[in-house]
Each structure stands twice: as structure tokens, then as C-alpha cells.
Structure 1
Amino acid sequence: MDTEDVAAFCLSLPGAREDYKWGGVRVFSIAETKMFAVMGLAGNDLAFKVGPDLFLGYVDRPGIRPAPYLARAYWITLAHPYAMGKDELCDLLTRSHQWVVSKLPKHRQVALKL
């Protein structure tokens, strides 16, 4: 997948929006402030949340490392070209989205659950 395919997939998830922050970072979020994926404006990297049970397994793989400043929250960073296939990447982005949705108040979750 190229960077625009990833961006289009992120925006296709329920309630997702895109903002540009911090001098050149594309932020994909829900409920205006809850990030589920972050991409460098140049498209050279992609960061998103994985589960605590998956974190160590992913950061041991080539091309994947803990995300700076967000690793304590189990975020990983992939360098472009991404070190995984389309299906696996889409699954992980969907999981990241759903973890963020699960932290929202119950009345906000209803329309955002997959």
C-alpha cells in the first residue's frame, strides 16, 4: 500500500477525520482529539496503536519500531515501504481505530463500532 491508500483507508473508518499538526504530521482521529494513526507529511512513516499483547512481537520485526513518545501506550512505527502486507496493515489500523472507540463514552461509541 502507498501512503494515499493508507490515508484513504483510515478516512473510510467510521467517524475518522484528518488533521495536519505539529509542523507536518497527518493525524487521523476520532471525536476530534482521539488519535488512532499518525503519518509523516512526506509519507515516510506511519504510527498507530497495537495491543499490549502484540507490541513486543511487532517491534521485533524488521522495519517496525516503537513509536517515539507513544511507545508507552503501545504504538508502533512503520517505515515506508511498510513492512507488512495490505491485509495485515488494514487489520491493525482497524484494531487501532476500535481501541480508541472503546475508550469513548458509551453514547459516542454506538455509531463508531464495527
Structure 2
Amino acid sequence: MTPAEFDKACLGLPGATMDVQWGDDHVYKVGGKMFAATGAAGTSFSFKASDIAFEALTESGRGKPAPYLARARWVWFEDMAGMDAAEVADWLKTAHALIAAKLTRKQRAEFGL
């Protein structure tokens, strides 16, 4: 997966926005709440995962608990280039859905969710 594909996958989700935070990190949000992020160099990325996906990805060694966000079940991957674009896009859809589910009914309606 390339940084451009990652960006397209995130911003293609309903109500998704991107902010540059913490230096040059790209942070993807829905309703002002983060669901994914890429590192400043654009090679590493992290996202919100379900409890089951978090355990499966971190215990298998494919991903690592994200620094500062592991408690909230975020998974971190060091190298985006070696990842399957379709698989990552599916994880991003799930991350978006997990965060969008926590938005108010009014916010979800605004985004067509």
C-alpha cells in the first residue's frame, strides 16, 4: 500500500477528514475523533481495531500495540509498503465504523451514517 492509497481509503469513508498534527503526522478523523494515522514519513500507520482484531494482529506479530494508544486498542504497523491495500482498506473501514458508532445520532445523520 502506498501513502496515496492509504489517504484515498481513509478520505473515501463518510465524513472522514485529515488533519496534520504532532509535527507532520496525518491524522484521519470522523466527527472530530481519530480512527487512523500515518507517521511523518508516511511509512508507518496505526488505526483503531476491534478487541478481537487487536489481539489477533498483535499476538501474531503482524502489528504492534500502538504507542500511547494501545490501551484504546490501536494497532501500529511499521511499514506500509509491504501491506496488502485491500486488507488495510478493510481495517480502515472497520476503524471508521468503530469510531462513528460513538458519535451522537445527530452527527451520524450529518455524515449519512
TM-score surpassing 0.5? yes
- Distance (whole Å) between structure 1 residues aligned to residue 83 and residue 14 of structure 2: 24
Check the 8 A contact 1:62/1:83 in 2, yes or no: no
Unaligned runs of 5+ in 1: none
TM-score, normalised on structure 2? 0.90
- Decide whether the 8 Å contact of 1:63 with 1:82 is kept in 2: no
Residue of structure 2 equivalent to 1:64: 63
User: Which secondary structure does the structure 2 equivalent of 1:28 belong to?
Assistant: strand
| Structure 1 residues 76-91: aligned runs within 5 Å | 76-82=75-81, 84-91=83-90
Say if 1:107 and 1:56 are closer, same or farther in 2 by CA, change over 3 A.
same
Deviations 1:36-76 (A, max 9, x none): 10101211210001101221110123441000000001000
Where do 5+ consecutive residues of structure 2 fail to align?
Answer: none
Q: Distance in 2 between matches of 1:52 and 1:83?
A: 24
- For CA contacts below 8 A with separation 6 or more, give which structure has more relative contact order: 2
Cα-to-partner distance string for 1:71-106 (whole Å, 9 max, x where unaligned): 001000011145542222111100000111000001
Residue identity (%): 33
Number of corresponding residues: 112
User: Which whole-Å CA distance do the structure 1 matches of 2:76 and 2:112 have between them?
Assistant: 25
TM-score, normalised on structure 1? 0.89
Match of 2:26 in 1: 26
**For residue 102 of structure 2, what is the aligned residue in structure 1?**
103
1:54 maps to which residue? 53
Q: Partners in 2 of 1:53 and 1:34 — Cα distance?
A: 21
Q: Moved runs in structure 1, 4+ residues, more than 4 A?
A: none
Contact kept? 1:63, 1:83, Cα under 8 Å: no
